[in-house]
Amino acid sequence: AQTVTQSQPEMSVQEAETVTLSCTYDTSENNYYLFWYKQPPSRQMILVIRQEAYKQQNATENRFSVNFQKAAKSFSLKISDSQLGDTAMYFCAFMTSIQGGSEKLVFGKGTKLTVNP
Amino acid sequence: AAGVIQSPRHLIKEKRETATLKCYPIPRHDTVYWYQQGPGQDPQFLISFYEKMQSDKGSIPDRFSAQQFSDYHSELNMSSLELGDSALYFCASSLGELNEQFFGPGTRLTVL
């Protein structure tokens, strides 16, 4: 079974600075998807960024980028120019890409990020 | 753009009562997932449907059942409610399996 580990329960960063959230995962599959979801106080689950394991290039979405190290099974999220609105719980998630397999999302325990003014 | 709709948004029930949660996926999406998020916890997968057939099942209690209807909306039925069922229940939808899942706003269930 796949597992996702987020070793940082809480982090804080000053507004406009850069912060990196860590995520490691365990799987025997070669092809899969990785995601970062943001959950602000409203509790809405918002997709931040997505990475396909077969792609070597790291995904980027505006101020958000990932460092995907497949061999190390590591998938960290970097937030540049942090904004107050980035304050939220961030979940790392794994999904298989095997057709007919379990397409459920497996989440880590989350990292609570606070951006300070 | 249309999003996933969940109703009701809030629900309060007594122990041993029954609850029905509804999910309306994004138009044209044929796959629905249900997740349960307890207080301070990560979302846990309950069950999923693809083209009205159950496609995967997680740690869903036997007291819970779900189905997807011909219009692709889904309902999660919960019976003999327990205090521990108090949680935020998310529905997500996708176009086919193995595609991005879009989450609804969730239904907050409180069991007293």
Interface test with B, best of A5, A29, A45, A112 (most B CBs within 10 A): A45
At residue A30, the pLDDT reads 85
Return the residue of A nearest to B37 by Cα: A43
At residue A13, the pLDDT reads 98
- Closest by CA to B52, choosing from B27, B75, B77, B83, is B75
Mean pLDDT of chain A: 93
- Closest by CA to B24, choosing from B100, B67, B75, B88, is B75
Number of C-beta neighbours around residue A36 at 10 A: 26
Q: How many cross-chain Cβ pairs, A to B, lie less than 8 Å apart?
A: 54
Q: For residue range B57-87, list pLDDT tens digits in order.
A: 898 999 999 999 999 999 999 999 999 999 9
Quick check: A5 pLDDT over 60? Answer: yes
Side chain identity at residue A100, one-letter code: G
Chain B neighbors of A104, CB-CB under 8 A? 33, 45, 48, 56, 58
Q: Can you tell me whether residue A49 is helix, strand or coil?
A: strand
Number of C-beta neighbours around residue B81 at 10 A: 22
d(CA A67, CA A18) in angstroms, rounded, equals 14
pLDDT tier at A101 (50, 70, 90 boundaries)? low
Quick check: A85 pLDDT over 60? Answer: yes
Does A107 contact B at CB distance below 8 Å? yes
